[in-house]
Structure 1
Amino acid sequence: MPFSSVLGFKRGLNGEFLVDVKEAKVIKAMFAMAVIGMTTAEIKKKLNDLGITTAYGNKWETTSTIKDMFTNEKYIGDALLQKTFTADFLTKQKKKNEGELPQYYVEDHHEAIVSKEVFDHVGKKLQSQTIRRASVPLSGKIFCGVCGERFGPRPWHAYKGSPHKETVWQCKKRTACGVPHIYDEQLGLLLDEVVRQVFKERVDLAE
């Protein structure tokens, strides 16, 4: 398992997960900020203001990294195996496992940094924020480019029995037209790009 991208852990002599005491303090502080109601955007700003960097030593550029951390089971000592798989052995391209291959959830795999109670509490907060943000402004306004049916938000579990959900948007006739779902985060990025393009076109026309 890669360690470089998991803030709060380091590799042991036998390849096992060991808690990095210094980085673990950052993780605990991040979860504490989420518990008291700070948004991921506010947490990102606070981390940057304090000079705390990501696992790669960079500034926190997006909130998606923080959201991924808040749903990473490694912080409660568990491990979900086969999250990704090699889609192309020639290029070594990795792909997110969305049901193509079986996944295995191992409890008490290593030492935890936060309690399951705190982890679940933060996960529920994220879920409610995401669904509230997604369902209000966009419901009934996104349509499938293949069959013309509406796209709607629904919760999606990373694995069976997971208390944590992501919001995905699906065509109401997805089984008929075969259009894959899109994550709420991806939809937001696409909408941002559309807004930028529209704004650019208006500026170009005004010149």
Structure 2
Amino acid sequence: MEEQLDHISAEIYQKSYVIVDNFVDKEFQSALLAEQMQLLGQGKFRHAAVGKGGQKQVRTEIRGDEVHWMDADDLSPLQAAYWEKLEEIRKALNQNCFLGLRSFEGHFARYPIGSFYKRHLDQFQAVPHRVVTVILYLNDSWTQDEEGALRMYIPQEDGSELIEDVLPVGGRLVIFLSGEIPHEVLPTKKERISITGWFRNID
């Protein structure tokens, strides 16, 4: 784990993002996916909104995902185990990248067939405390033909952007600096499941 943490920290420091395959094993991934399906069956998911506070609204022409927020004070055993893994990452990023990360917030995210999320930044005026975005994909399997990639626009020194498309392969972890990398979720041809969250510089 220490070697993996060093790799994550180095990539974030040098490139602002990192992709880690098989971050969790198949058994743990499948258990989280089953828990997500159970929560969905219980009607716990809501259409994700854009904006903050009084300006928050559901706009499916911008994003079509559904979410279930995790309660830090009432985590299931599986969720708590995942948060413990993230706590190790938080400490490593603070030690090696001096990011001042103090807490984590996260939700299950479900993209139904045909849904997407247009290009955006995770850190903006309404959510200035999000410093690092962390996404764990839970899908059992995924192929290129099913589309639904995370598309990241990586800023280059000459002012251009490098486009990196990341398929939501189960067990894959994607981490990037929330205020530096614009991204979008391309239309998906298959239900797409993840846990998406943010390390923040507030408690």
User: Is the shorter-chain TM-score for this pair beyond 0.5, marking a shared fold?
Assistant: no
Higher RCO by CA contacts (8 Å cutoff, separation 6 or greater): 2
Structure number with the higher strand fraction is: 2
